Homo-oligomer: A and B are copies of this chain.
Amino acid sequence: MSDNLKIIADKFLSSDNIYILTHKSPDGDTLGSAFALYYALKAKGKSVRVLCADTFPKKFGYMYEAYEDKDFEPKLIASVDVADLNLLGNLSDIYAQKIDICIDHHKSNKIEAPLKYVSVASAATCEIIYTLLGYMNTEFTPLVCDCLYTGISTDTGCFKFSNTTPITHKIAAELMEYGCDYVNINKIMFDTKSKARIEMERMVIDTMQFEYDDRVAIIVVTRQMLTNTGMDESDLDGVAAIPRQIEGVDVGITMKETIDGGYKISVRTSESVDASKICAALGGGGHARAAGCSVNMSSQEAKEAILKAIKPLI
């Protein structure tokens, strides 16, 4: 399988006029992969573009401030960290059938491409790009390392999540030796919140309600809160993790009011309760520790319904 990555390395080295496709709602890993590759290929004198259906979030500015977006006809198209064509967003119409190289770490990867390298054991696509750049014999500049570190750090929750492996740490060590600015990157990614986000968290925590001897905690995010703080749903990353973080809570419920007045419910559980079974009872599904469902009910009805679904399982 890593032979395939060497073939991909050779393909990049022997090509020019390269497009790199990232997934919509871009995160640290897709952008880190794309820009690390961009700077590495630019240093080899090639024309390269990074494409995304959405604008690059401001917090990743340090990765793309040296990026020059120049138009040209692509001769090679690669996707990074994109598991499915629909994740290309509006890029899909033009490029769906034209991907030459697919590099990813998602188990669910469904992209078809002549050259494909999917490593599910890798915590981040940036881990794969790190190996790829080694094969390509490119220079690990501090900027390239900043990009790679960003993907690795964000996809592992700063080395906290179970996808972290010894290899993840070894690569981080290398990136630090090459001069990546890990302190600043981690500060931006993990220790910076907007005023609106702080305000949102305060309002959300105000709604917190405990049930079943405090083993269940429920929070509610209303449309009004989004309006008041000027946030949209994409700014709610991580909010669903709040109730489960509370000591003794086995089931954390986050109810997000939808535009049509119903609720999208996220369920996070400890090992003693199966989240997917709770959600299945309300027509949803997911994994054992994280699942979801949508209900067309009032807030009170939705709470009662989810508590009823939890009862036999807790």
Contacts and interface: CB of A to CB of B under 8 A. Distances in A.
Contact of A192 (B201, B202, B247): B247
A173 interface: yes
A210 B195 CA distance: 10
Contact of A159 (B172, B246, B248): B172
Copies of this chain present: 2
B165 A186 contact: no
Contacts of A60: none
Contacts of A170: 169-170, 173
B183 A162 contact: yes
A260 interface: no
A186 B192 CA distance: 20
Given A164-B182, A194-B246, 19 more contacts: A159-B172, A160-B191, A161-B183, A166-B174, A166-B176, A166-B177, A169-B170, A170-B173, A191-B241, A192-B245, A192-B246, A192-B247, A193-B246, A193-B247, A195-B214, A195-B246, A198-B205, A198-B246, A202-B202
A158 interface: yes
A205 B205 CA distance: 11
A176 B186 contact: no
A206 interface: yes
A135 interface: no
A196 to B, nearest CB: 9
Main secondary structure of the interface of A (DSSP, over half): helix
Contacts of A198: 205, 208, 246
Interface residues of A, number: 40
A191 B246 CA distance: 8
B176 A165 contact: yes
Nearest to A158: B158
A72 interface: no
A190 interface: yes
Interface in A57-71: none
A201 B195 contact: no
Shortest Cβ-Cβ A-B pairs, 6 listed? A166-B173, A169-B173, A160-B186, A169-B169, A162-B183, A169-B172
Nearest to A163: B183
A169 B160 contact: no
Contacts of A248: 195
Contacts of A241: 191
